[in-house]
Amino acid sequence: MVKINILPPKIQVSAPQYTWEWNADTDQIHLYDKNQHLIFHAQHKPLPVTSPARLDFSHPSYEIQDAQVRITYRGQNPASSLTVAWSFHSDFISLEPLLLTLPAKTELVSIIYFPIMEGNSYKPSMYSHYAVVPGLCMSTNISPIVDLHSRINTTAVLGSGAMRGPGLTQQWGLPAHYFCTFNTADHWNSIGAKSLQSEAACWGLAELPQGDFRLEIREIGISPILNLRGDLWKHTSDTLGFHFLITFGENYHEAIRSYYQILQRENIIAPKKKQLSPKKKDILFAPQYNTWGFESAKALPPEHLTEDFVRDVFGKLQHSGMQAKTFVIDDKWEGTYGELKHDHERFPHFEDLLKYIRAQGYNIGLWAAFLRCQDPATLGLDESHLLQTHEGKPLWLDHQSSRYGIFDMTQPKVQAVLRQRAREFIRRYQPDLIKFDFGYELPSLDVAAPQDMTFAGERLLQKGLEVIVGAMKEENPDLVIMYYGLSPLLIDYYDLHSPDDLVYCIGDYDLETNRRIFFSSLCGELGMPTYSSSGYDWDSALDIWFDAVASGSLGSLHCFDGDENGETLSAMHIAKFNGINSLVRKEAFFTTKPVHAKWQGGLRAGFAPSWERIENGKTVMLALRTYGFDGKAVSNRYKDVIQSNIMLIVAALDDEEIGESSHIGIVPFADGDCTIKNSHKSATIIEHHLNGTESVSHLTFTDRMFLNLQQNQTLEWVEIIFEKE
């Protein structure tokens, strides 16, 4: 139920989840949670940055129709006006695209939301103690949960282009297409201040804009920015400004979940319409091994990747005993970017190699940066078919030893060529999984643009996915596409989330993976599991796999010859990889909840020591640590189901709750005791060890079964088959 009250000079909108206020005299807005705690306040009037001169808009007027408030600013020039429309619903707010009229020959550079003007400059005015910005930094140096009182000054990217964008080096989780805010009491260290802290609001896009999505963080404030650069490209967008859905939750994890859910409920996205055949599910959840770790460990230049090298890596994987099922050949098996063909000199028998790997029972994964093009002439194209700078020249980029441009996916000829290449690529190499890479290096509109500006900005990646991924999936509907983005607006194209390369996280591989999974675990609401990837050292491997299993599948890019610390794998590493994989659930739609998560703090926020996985309302997996990352013991919330003094994973191997299941598995990480409540009265217990050895015992009990779990180098997992009375 939404109520709009006019209390001059204020308009107040009340709904079960929030209260929104706008003051006509001050032009300020305030947003409160359901407990009337302030989430943020800001100056309301957006700033259209125009060329050749800035436009000034007058004091606002408003109108109310049904559950919408429209606030209009008239320009000093009679030909200019600006209208902001807020639509209110019981559990979310829709901030609509702007209605903006400009004088003739005025070009729109960008639109800045919630600015404070100071002469000819501005600063962000959207104040909330914390901003949550996924993908803010590629390392653990700067948390995505930003205490704005730290006065970090940067421009973050929330869309598809980041590697060469403004601000910090960003990569993982992009495009995200959302950010969050939550607030403390004014005196946040005072007695009882935590009880006055607000819930969180998530600002998520409802549609992809025709510009670059950025978030400026400066002077204890933030401003969403739509970068358009009409001054460079002489175009006018078909929609102006963002279309945000503002959703709410007791914390930012729940606010993001609400964003994903409301997008589905409002039929903006429909991930459950995706068809998942049994074969595709098998590939989706299959444990992976990726050659990139070997390439990095050997400091191998990309052009030195050879067929013999890949054969050697594959042989070592087989010899290791690690039961990976998908073998991924990473960069650079291609001859030149853009051709989607192997290098015949370095891989003279590439197709025979793929057949050999497949004959050993493995799926094939291939790395590809589909948007790159080194030599357009090899495809019957020329430099005009690449993204162009505003000087009318192709944009050339450099990465490692390669120089390449970016395909202009908006041109019909490029689309036709790449659709055909994509189909030929699938038919020829028959990959089961594609590691789709470097979509986030699309240049901003400051640098280059496509020919058809209808697909400028955030829409450009979608056009590329539509063309290339669309063609590949037409050829093979069971193909699994793995990517790094968190955006729900691209869910039609991605199947599996990757927490991305952890190369900037030396010493923190496990912590950074936990934090990335903290956000990507929510993608289970979209039918997109998370693949664990891994760090580059063996020391962090067990924790990474532990954190990943409740949200998806396992992966490894470790080098079997040694890591950066000079360490090699142990039998325990292989045993735990195999054991944890035995517990992987095969349902694409699920809910993962962080357990004992920390919501604030530069060091603790955005981590979860433990995880609960829920399917169809039933708890089917628990990954439980006894200590948090700060070394403090954590209480067990699940005592009614399981009690243990050690870190472990327990999962149902059927579709029942753990306490009702007739078939469960346990992976322990130390010696200790465990009791499990179950409605059955007796069970067969099978300890699975490396090399296929098993030990079997039987147990009867009345209400709880007691297990003494003895960890050793070869134990993979403990299987419990409950017997019906």
Residue 663 belongs to domain spanning: 607-723
The residue length of the chain stands at 725
pLDDT attached to residue 24: 96
User: Is 614 a member of any domain?
Assistant: yes
User: Is 678 a member of any domain?
Assistant: yes
Report the DSSP beta bridge partners of residue 156: 215
Label residue 681 by pLDDT band (50, 70, 90): confident
Is pLDDT above 90 for 487?
yes
User: Is 568 a member of any domain?
Assistant: no
User: Is 596 a member of any domain?
Assistant: no
3-class secondary-structure state, position 496: strand
Is pLDDT above 80 for 508?
yes
Closest alpha carbon to 182 in 35, 71, 43, 46: 35
pLDDT attached to residue 374: 95
User: Is 676 a member of any domain?
Assistant: yes
User: Is 338 a member of any domain?
Assistant: no
- Across the range 358-368, mean pLDDT stands at 97
Is pLDDT above 70 for 165?
no
- Across the range 380-399, mean pLDDT stands at 94
Percentage of the chain exceeding pLDDT 90: 84
Say whether pTM exceeds 0.95. yes
In angstroms, the CA 546 to CA 685 distance is: 22
Question: Per residue in 246-268, is it b (16+ CB within 10 Å) or e — as a string?
Answer: bbbbebbbbbbbbbbbbbbeeee
In angstroms, the CA 498 to CA 510 distance is: 14
In angstroms, the CA 567 to CA 554 distance is: 21
CB neighbours of 71 closer than 8 A, spacing ≥ 6?
A: 22, 44, 60, 61, 62, 83, 84, 85, 86
- Provide φ and ψ at 442, rounded to 5°: -60, 130
Least confident of 33-47, 578-592, 679-693: 679-693
In angstroms, the CA 190 to CA 185 distance is: 9
Q: What angle do CA 447, 452, 455 make, to 5 degrees?
A: 75
pLDDT attached to residue 678: 87
Number of structural domains (the chain) is 2
- Across the range 563-567, mean pLDDT stands at 94
Mean pLDDT of all residues belonging to the chain: 94
- Across the range 293-303, mean pLDDT stands at 90
Is pLDDT above 90 for 34?
yes
Which of these three, 48, 66, 101, is where a domain ends?
101
- Across the range 282-295, mean pLDDT stands at 96
CB neighbours of 103 closer than 8 A, spacing ≥ 6?
A: 55, 75, 77, 79, 80
Tokens representing 369 are 């940066």
Least confident of 218-227, 322-331, 706-715: 706-715
pLDDT per position as a tens digit, 167-178: 777 888 999 999
How many other C-beta atoms are found inside a 10 Å radius of the C-beta of residue 118? 8
Is pLDDT above 70 for 212?
yes
Is pLDDT above 80 for 408?
yes
Is pLDDT above 80 for 381?
yes
User: Is 637 a member of any domain?
Assistant: yes
Is pLDDT above 90 for 274?
no
Closest alpha carbon to 534 in 561, 516, 519: 516
User: Is 43 a member of any domain?
Assistant: no
pLDDT per position as a tens digit, 89-123: 999 999 999 999 999 889 999 999 999 988 888 99
Is the Cβ–Cβ distance between 213 and 197 less than 8 Å? no
Is pLDDT above 70 for 677?
yes
Is the Cβ–Cβ distance between 465 and 175 less than 8 Å? no
pLDDT attached to residue 164: 63
